Amino acid sequence: MDTHFHLLVRAGTSGISAIIRKVLTGYAVNFNRNHKRYGHVFQNRFKSIIFEEYHHLLELTRYIHLNPLSLGIVRATCG
Q: List the domain boundaries for the chain.
A: 1-48, 49-79
d(Cα 25, Cα 40) in Å, to the nearest integer?
9
Neighbour tally for 17: CB within 10 Å = 12
pLDDT one-digit tens code per residue, 5-17: 888 888 777 778 8
Contact residues for 66 (Cβ-Cβ < 8 A; gap 6+):
77
**pLDDT tops 80 at residue 77:** no
- DSSP category for residue 62: H
pLDDT one-digit tens code per residue, 19-56: 888 889 999 999 999 999 999 998 888 888 888 888 89
d(Cα 42, Cα 48) in Å, to the nearest integer?
16
pLDDT band at 79 (very low <50, low <70, confident <90, very high): low
